[in-house]
A and B are shown apart, each in its own frame.
Chain A
Amino acid sequence: MNIYVCVKQVPDTETKIKLTADSGGIETAGIKWILSPYDEFAIEEALRLKEKNAGSTVTVMSAGPARVVEALRTALAMGADHGVHVELPETADNNMAAKALAGALKKETKVDLVYTGKEAIDDGAAQVSQLIAEYYGMPYVTVVLNIEYGASSVKCKREIEGGAFEMIEAPFPVLIAAQKGLNEPRYASLPNIMKAKKKEIKALKMADVGVTDGDRKIRYKNYQLPPPKQAGKKIAGDPAAQVKELVRILHEEAKVV
């Protein structure tokens, strides 16, 4: 089977966000970049499918500036076979990224399955997976917790609200966006990290995948940090008095209960 995973490189969750002087973006100096956590579940699922189907290959793709090659190396060290990097400017929006990745997929001879993370933890828009599927022309299932593979289709358990879930059937080729819980991602072993350094990463430019600056549909501007909160009120007294006072405030002053 020809299995693909699209991944994104994002700032580590512990990153303290600082804005540029013109508030047009964030300071990227000093940021520790990681593979977006949900993408690890996508890679793991691809590798497990490959291991069950002899002769399969896993290709991992990412669109972005030169730094994202490190995220591809992480995926290759987990066990992916090939990498594809589509170079995009730092300012590319979700639409450009999705068009670039769909364009790269279209250059491949045959695509059976595409895996992604259900969202990237930087932008958190949760739209690139669906956009890739639509631009490529395949169905998608998002926020997936479990997959049963058939000969020509998948049955996916998709998480919805309130702990409920849906069982969805979709034919190949299909894009599946992974939710945490789908599997337990493996750690890259040292020999595999060494091997990953020698694996090929194909480099593509925007023009190779038919993307132009006109594909940018959204611009983020006027960045703001959340307003600093006033120091809260610590309620003193013995537990019974503390609780009485808190409930009184929530009921009478804040009026949230």
Chain B
Amino acid sequence: MDIVYAQPLKELLQISSYFKEQLIVLVKDEAGEKIAKKRELIPCFIVNEKTDLNKLKKKRKAVLGGSVKANEFATKIKADFLLQPSNTKQFFDLGLAKKLSENGTIVVLMFEELLGKNSFDRHLYWKNYLEIVRYCKKKKTKFVVASGCKEPLNLKPGKVRQSIAQTLGLTNEEAKKALEELK
């Protein structure tokens, strides 16, 4: 399973079917949800504090982290995914990891964002994510690496994403299990 942003679906489906992987597509509205369902993809709504959550009660929700407010919002609404909880600055701690673990929220590293940075920022991202994985392991929070791309050719195979999670500090079994449970 992989998580991507909404994008041209024809090429995306060709590549994902070659890798035999199902995709979770991040959508902003019901129109996007309909298009994703039509192509047998799993839709997930990106929400923030201004979103009307009453319409999305039984639907998957993802929060784009990267600030203390956004990360706390994800724990408040018990989101399914917390995307990019950290960037060049660290907004993740043991308390947050514990709350996310209790809610069953999955922490996601959107790999494409890391790739788009210069080497110094990449070093900071990498350093922060090493810490995040350490906290997630201590509090048994699920952590996953996703392609997080807006273009089909930036999709990464499952083995590569699993290896990145292992390089960050997860064991082979933890990384594999986390990817398999991404449903």
Are A and B associated in one complex?
A: no
Interface residues of B (CB under 8 A from A): none
A contact residues vs B (CB 8 Å cutoff): none
